[in-house]
Amino acid sequence: MPPIYTLHDLQQSYNGRRVLAIDRLDIGRGEVLALVGPSGSGKSTLLRLLNFLEQPSGGALTFDGEPVTPRLALAQRRRVTTVFQRPALLHRSVAANIGYGQTLRGIKPDNDELAAWLDRLGLSHLARQSAPKLSAGEAQRVALARALILRPDVLLLDEPSANLDPYNIGLIERLVAEAHSETGMTVVWVTHDIFQARRVAGRVAFLLEGRLVEVADAAKFFTAPATPQAAAFLRGELVYS
Amino acid sequence: METILDALQEALGLLTGFDPALMEVVGMTLRVTGGALLLATLIGLPLGAALGLRDRVPAGGCVMPIIYTGMGLPPVVVGLFVYLMLSNQGPLGRLGWLFKPPAMIVAQVIIALPLIVGLTLTSLRSIDPTVKLQVRSLGATRAQTAWTLIREARLGVLAAIIAAFGGIISEVGAVMLVGGNIEGQTRVLTTAIVLETRRGNFALALALGILLMGLAFGANYLFHRLSDE
């Protein structure tokens, strides 16, 4: 099956400073890819490019066999969605936040579907509550539901459980795993937590200073990394390219 | 102290008696300030939103200081400027607006506009950048993104309107210069307070002052209730 994303010589620079330069990366349809690397390695930048939120400075990005162009960007963007580290909920009710993406598409949120999601998240009693009043864990669960209810082809996760307690981390991992197995969506998961990457991913891409140093199956990456930088990263050492 | 108490008593009498002269001044104040606030909001909100929604304000190094300076414009200077523009020798003298309510509205729009533009712009720019990314990531078009962010900044937008209202209902310099404080035509609460104080009619001046504060409180209470909702 052809990959859903193909990145070829993809580059991103801000104010003349190059922050990302990926020679080649294919992301398979339906896979769970963990993006790992130290802070500032370009993981979040790559996610923004994969969600078509930014124009790359150079190189080629194809999505589902089509080159990403500004003309197609909205249609392509609506097949992909990101859950960020900060939930960025709107000043509306919990239910309105979960249905927000559907509203943007002109779809009236289905009350039964909303109720099912709220139940799944353990938030049924908070449906009418103002979203900014939720706890961090509750807010991130709402952010995840807001993305998953859209049934995107690709779910991008930018450290969604970075500041959460073990219960919420487990819940988020379980919800993503269930959605992945139900819909076959592609998941690209940025995480600092190598144990989480090991739990959730089938494949791991290791970024360092904007460059892709190693891409490997998760089992191989965690047991026998091919590069000294990846090995040092897994040992918790400070890594340079 | 006695004078103040006497004045207060007399002021209450005037207020409860719905004195016609008093009501006329109140009506003119509401028409001028209301009209100016409406116009300034209709112009200022879209302008502030257009600037605040951009990643960078065009020519921001110049535009932002101009807006911020405008937020502190001395009303009397605005009055002088509008006077010169609308006087017989001025470029807009043909309109014949001087010493009429339209001139007062123009002056108050000039005072209110930078406040509305500046505070709307600031409230939009203070929204967490992740919210904008998140909204776009969920599939919003450019227009949907703009509308969502304006809704998110609604408290700041409301504060901009409240600040503008407070600025213009309480100013005296501009309306005095361009309106002339003509009885039955351009007299508003602030200019009437100045006049009655000079005449020694402290009771009436105080009654006008109480009304002015009451109007300001009423409007702010309404805005506050709106922001709560």
Q: Please return the burial class of B24, using the count of CB atoms within 10 Å of its CB with bins 0-12, 13-18 and 19+.
A: middle
Instruction: Tell me which amino acid residue B210 is.
Output: I
By C-alpha distance, the chain A residue nearest B133 is A53
Q: What are the Cα distances from residue A4, in Å, to A25, A28, A29, A63, B4?
A: 11, 6, 5, 6, 80
The pLDDT confidence band at residue A1, using thresholds 50, 70 and 90, is confident
Contact call for residues B57 and B121 (beta carbons, < 8 A): yes
What CATH number is associated with residue B58?
A: 1.10.3720.10
Contact call for residues A45 and A20 (beta carbons, < 8 A): yes
Contacts of B20 by beta carbon, 8 Å cutoff, 6+ apart? none
**How is chain A split into domains, by residue range?**
5-234
> What is the mean predicted confidence (pLDDT) over B172-186?
94
* Cα end-to-end span (Å), chain B: 42
CB-CB neighbours of B126 under 10 Å: 10
Q: Which residues of A101-111 are buried (b: 16+ CB within 10 A; e: fewer)?
A: bbbbeeeebee
**Residues A174-231: pLDDT tens digits?**
999 999 999 999 999 999 899 999 999 999 999 999 999 999 999 999 999 999 999 9
DSSP SS3 for B53: coil
Token code pair at residue A93: 């009710």
> What is the mean predicted confidence (pLDDT) over A81-109?
94
Q: CA-CA distance, B112 to B169, in Å (whole number)?
A: 10
Q: Does the pLDDT of residue B10 top 90, yes or no?
A: no
Contact call for residues A147 and A82 (beta carbons, < 8 A): yes
pLDDT of residue B228: 66
Provide the β-strand partners of residue A18: A13
Of chain A, the percentage scoring pLDDT greater than 70 comes to 100
Q: What are the Cα distances from residue A65, in Å, to A1, A5, A61, A77, B111?
A: 11, 8, 9, 15, 56
Interface test with B, best of A44, A50, A76, A77 (most B CBs within 10 A): A77
Closest CA to B107 of B69, B58, B134, B73: B73
Please give the helix or strand (H or E) that residue B149 lies within, else none: helix B142-152
User: Mean of the per-residue pLDDT values for chain A?
Assistant: 93
- Cross-chain residue pair A90–B148, CB shorter than 8 Å: yes
> What is the mean predicted confidence (pLDDT) over B128-139?
94
Q: Does the pLDDT of residue A237 top 80, yes or no?
A: yes
Please give the helix or strand (H or E) that residue A23 lies within, else none: strand A17-27
Total residue length of chain A: 241
Identify the domain containing residue B159 by its residue range. 2-228
Strand A5-14, strand A17-27: pairing:
antiparallel
Closest CA to B37 of B178, B162, B220, B216: B162
Domain count for chain B:
1
Provide the β-strand partners of residue A14: A17
**Residues A44-77: pLDDT tens digits?**
999 999 999 999 999 999 999 999 887 777 888 9
Instruction: Tell me which amino acid residue B45 is.
Output: L
Quote ipTM for the complex.
Answer: 0.92
Q: Which residue, chain included where needed, has tokens 């010493």?
A: B99
- Cross-chain residue pair A88–B139, CB shorter than 8 Å: no
Total residue length of chain B: 229
pLDDT of residue B81: 96
CATH class of A5-234: alpha beta
What is the Cα B103 distance to its own chain's centre? Answer: 14
Q: Does the pLDDT of residue B229 top 70, yes or no?
A: no
By C-alpha distance, the chain A residue nearest B140 is A104
Q: CA-CA distance, B188 to B105, in Å (whole number)?
A: 12
Contact call for residues A66 and A72 (beta carbons, < 8 A): yes
**Residues B80-99: pLDDT tens digits?**
999 999 999 999 999 999 99
- Cross-chain residue pair A84–B134, CB shorter than 8 Å: yes
The pLDDT confidence band at residue A167, using thresholds 50, 70 and 90, is very high
Q: Does the pLDDT of residue A105 top 70, yes or no?
A: yes
Of chain A residues 48-107, which have a CB less than 8 A from chain B? 48, 51, 53, 74, 77-78, 80-82, 84, 86, 88, 90-91, 100-101, 104-105
To the nearest 10 degrees (0 to 180), the angle between helices B20-52 and B101-125 is 40
The C-alpha of B86 sits at a distance from chain A's nearest C-alpha, in angstroms, of 46
The C-alpha of A220 sits at a distance from chain B's nearest C-alpha, in angstroms, of 33
